[in-house]
Chains A and B, each alone.
Chain A
Amino acid sequence: MTTSPPIIGGPFLKQSPSVSHIMLVVMLALTPATLYGLYQFGWPAVYLFFVTVGSALLAETAWLKMAGRPVWPALHDGSALLTGWLLAMTLPPWAPWWIGVLGSLIAIWLGKQVFGGLGQNLFNPAMVARVVLLISFPVHMTAFVVPTPFMDLNAPGPIESLAVTFDYGVGPSIDALSSASVLGHIKTEVGRGAEWTAAFSSTFEMRGFVFGAVPGSLGETSGLLLILGGLLLLGARIITWHIPVSMLAAIAVLAGVMNAVDPLTYPSATVHLLSGATLLGAFFIATDLVTSPVSPLGKIVFGAGCGILVYVIRTWAGYPEGVAFAVLLMNAATPLIDRYIKPRVYGRTRRGEPLVPEEAVK
């Protein structure tokens, strides 16, 4: 007969999803946008993606070995894989290999493990890495290329692409294909005194823009596929609507208002919502479970904060894109949000006082 088990508190039934299941669903949701990114940026993007993800796994393994902790359970939960994946999504697709490796080391070691591993980190590891890279290597981190899908005549083959990613042998010059991202281009042109619409339409086609055939980071360009992935996450109940909706709404409202005030200088809400890392950020990055608040209202505050900061940084700060900065700043505010915004406890007022019943005691 079974002996008395060590844990005597119920429940003795479990809902099936585990941590690795959650990570798996997130990766599944990322897949369409990732495949599209790899397709349209070609072999260099494929190399960079695998280098980044691979080094994230190696970084995790190395740290666990050094710390004398069991390696397999931590690798098995899939969080390192996902961190590497998310980081790769935010890198310029033709960036050199060492950007991916360095980024993964920063993400896993400085972003996660120094805090004590999964669940303990204050900041989104992928965004920590991205910001460190952006500040340290601004040239490499803003070298975007025109999409050159696999069947494109200008697309580099697998061998030539080695030259792009690994700086080896002879390959196509990045300069030949280089281009600014949508937000970068608009920012530069508007800075010169041009109208944003002229700058936008002279370079980009609206249809390609919606689907994602524009220069940008590896996985951020296809708004449509990112929304699809986001809906999948919502449907699988991995994330709730609060953060994406409040973040996108904050950006849309601010962009809408500013665009109405000065339609020539401030790009429309559509451009803000569909360009840069807005959608990737709203569905996959700001919603990172570990580093976002836990209460529904807290999530709304967090999402709105991210949205406002994104718009402010894009519009008035030095960088054309601000999702990474915005998310990190709001990550820092998360403990504070969680401390002050909690769900109302049953039978108590919001301030924690017991409710006073209407029918008084006899």
Chain B
Amino acid sequence: MKLFRIRGGVHPKGRKHLSEDKPIANLPLPELLHVPLQQHIGAPAVAVVKKGDAVKKGQVIAVAQGTISAPVHAPTSGTVNGLGRYTAPHPSGLPGRTITIRTDGRDAWTDDLPAPMEPFTSSPQAIAQRVKDAGIVGMGGATFPSAVKLNLGDRYDLHTLIINGAECEPYLTCDDRLMREHPADVATGVRIMARALEVKRTIIAIEANKPDAIRRMRQAVKDLDGVQVVEVPTRYPMGSEKHLTQTLLGLETPARGLTAEIGAVVHNAATAFAVYEAVVKGRPLISRVVTISGEAVTNPANLRVPIGTPVAQLLEYAGGLKTEPERLLLGGPMMGQPLADLKVPVVKGTNGVLALSGLEAATKSVKASCIRCASCVDACPCGLVPLDMAAAIRKEEMEIATQSGLMDCVGCGSCAYVCPSNIPLVQYFNYAKGRITYLQRAEHKQKETKRLAELRTERMERIAAAKREAMAKRKAEQARKKAEKAAKNQHQEKATV
């Protein structure tokens, strides 16, 4: 298949050899699970259990709230230990609403599990509903509720489903393992999603550094019509939704738009597996595969982990740390976040836990001045000029930064990766994006306050005017009555006379 070139990109060392040959192992059930209510983009789920409740595996413990949201299920059987705030998987390490479950070790499934569906005869709406009920979100890390993306066919003319098996982040091998160990299940999930989207064509894209996954997935789809496995070049950020679409279809997603606008929807390979589990087996999303890797980890591994398991348990299973890590990360080294604490739980979007040694992590490098070498310009897959954006942000000129395309930045970090001066460009951009959101909110608030104040003034005036009118009316009425009375009196007087 003809592939299209994307602009820029970088070639970080993959370092996938650390874990790529480790089969997926089941992590033993921990004693406590801390299941956050916000594991997805959108509104947090609302808890429907209370302290002391007994829960079964797969039982709904929090329901979705609004269109863009996802329910949360009990990852195993046990008792609700409490509903409270617990360190969230976020760089701030701030607590978020969490349901803590004390596991009972029996791992007993609930009786209310939805019945398995006939995958290839069910209606697209039924499939999307099932995916929604199963709490499935984008498992590549973006955690956007998948059902919303499966319903895009309602609004757009879709022709292609792209399954993102690029896994372009260094170290991560969880999708690779999933495709190698469960190719048929992933393929079934892919077919179900294609049915839900009503697309004619499906492309499973895998980076060239995963030859075994490519081979096995090809084998799994060889009898299927309209499904093909495509080897894409190993180049970061190949797994970026927009750039993968461009590589495969040669079409660019309009700025600030969705890939659906050009007729394509992208789902992650692990999401496809979760869809298979939900539709064919009726099982909600309660566990996921996580890669534990990095030079500081004794035995790197790929583990199937119940949602809510503290990261410390994963590291313990992997034999602990052999050296003091320079960096502890959640996710890949390019776009992942620093781990605030080892008690942070694994959530639906956690694809990796990395402990990087000093040799691998870029922490000791000194920040120097920008020498305008344009490495960042050449590396940017979005055609931006990162050095100009950073200069504007340093001066708090957010408007100039926005005009330079700040909002078109996907945050892939290619620019900061190549910067010889070690300028933390992504840090600048994240700061600016937050700052701009704040400013926009402040402006919105100001406008809204002004609008409401104006409305109030208008309303008060109207009330006053109405009052005045009523008063005038009453006065006129009184005057009229008086006059009438006077006239009557006169008349009577006349009569008496």
Instruction: Give every chain B residue within 8 A of A22 (Cβ-Cβ).
Output: 371, 373, 420
Known pairs A13-B362, A290-B371, A358-B262; A342 contacts B254 (CB<8 A) = no
A361 beta carbon closer than 8 Å to chain B: yes
B437 beta carbon closer than 8 Å to chain A: no
B242 beta carbon closer than 8 Å to chain A: yes
Give 1 or 0 for each of B153-197: 1 = CB within 8 Å of chain A CB: 011110100000000001000000000000000000000000000
Say which residue of A4, A8, A14, A21 sits within 8 Å of B417 (CB atoms). A14
B66 beta carbon closer than 8 Å to chain A: no
B244 beta carbon closer than 8 Å to chain A: no
B288 beta carbon closer than 8 Å to chain A: no
Nearest CB in chain A to that of B355: its residue: A2
Known pairs A1-B342, A347-B257, A357-B257; A362 contacts B157 (CB<8 A) = yes
Instruction: Give every chain A residue within 8 A of B335 (Cβ-Cβ).
Output: 10-11
Instruction: Give every chain B residue within 8 A of A120 (Cβ-Cβ).
Output: 369
Instruction: Give every chain A residue within 8 A of B416 (Cβ-Cβ).
Output: 9-11
Say which residue of B262, B334, B385, B428 sits within 8 Å of A10 (CB atoms). B334
Residue picked from B157, B242, B372, B430, most chain A C-beta under 10 Å = B372
Q: Can you name 15 extra interface pairs (CB under 8 A) apart from A2-B328, A346-B383?
A: A1-B328, A10-B336, A22-B420, A118-B369, A290-B371, A294-B372, A343-B383, A345-B405, A346-B246, A346-B381, A347-B242, A348-B255, A348-B405, A357-B254, A359-B261
A117 beta carbon closer than 8 Å to chain B: yes
Q: What is A's interface to B at a CB cutoff of 8 Å?
A: 1-2, 4-5, 7-15, 17-19, 21-22, 73, 77, 79, 117-120, 240, 289-292, 294-296, 338, 342-348, 352, 354-362
Known pairs A4-B93, A342-B385; A355 contacts B255 (CB<8 A) = yes
Known pairs A8-B338, A345-B383; A13 contacts B254 (CB<8 A) = no
Where chain B touches its partner, the secondary structure class is loop
Nearest CB in chain B to that of A240: its residue: B378
Cα A295 to Cα B416 in complex, Å, equals 17
Cα A295 to Cα B404 in complex, Å, equals 14
Please determine whether B340 and A18 come into contact, CB atoms closer than 8 angstroms.
no
Instruction: Give every chain B residue within 8 A of A19 (Cβ-Cβ).
Output: 368-369, 371, 420-421
Say which residue of A7, A289, A359 sits within 8 Å of B156 (CB atoms). A359
Cα A21 to Cα B338 in complex, Å, equals 28
Can you list 20 A-B contacts with CB-CB less than 8 angstroms, sorted by A residue number? A2-B325, A7-B427, A11-B335, A12-B334, A12-B336, A12-B361, A13-B333, A14-B422, A15-B12, A15-B418, A77-B368, A289-B371, A342-B383, A346-B7, A346-B252, A348-B383, A357-B262, A358-B251, A359-B156, A359-B159
Instruction: Give every chain A residue within 8 A of B243 (Cβ-Cβ).
Output: 346
B307 beta carbon closer than 8 Å to chain A: no
| Chain B 380-416 interface residues, beta-carbon cutoff 8 Å to A | 380-385, 387-388, 405, 408, 413, 416
5 tightest A-B CB contacts, nearest first: A14-B362, A9-B427, A11-B413, A347-B255, A9-B426
Cα A235 to Cα B471 in complex, Å, equals 91
Say which residue of B324, B360, B368, B383 sits within 8 Å of A344 (CB atoms). B383
Cα A356 to Cα B365 in complex, Å, equals 43
Cα A73 to Cα B431 in complex, Å, equals 27
Cα A238 to Cα B249 in complex, Å, equals 33
Please determine whether B337 and A8 come into contact, CB atoms closer than 8 angstroms.
yes
| Chain B 264-296 interface residues, beta-carbon cutoff 8 Å to A | none
Known pairs A2-B325, A9-B426, A294-B385; A119 contacts B370 (CB<8 A) = yes
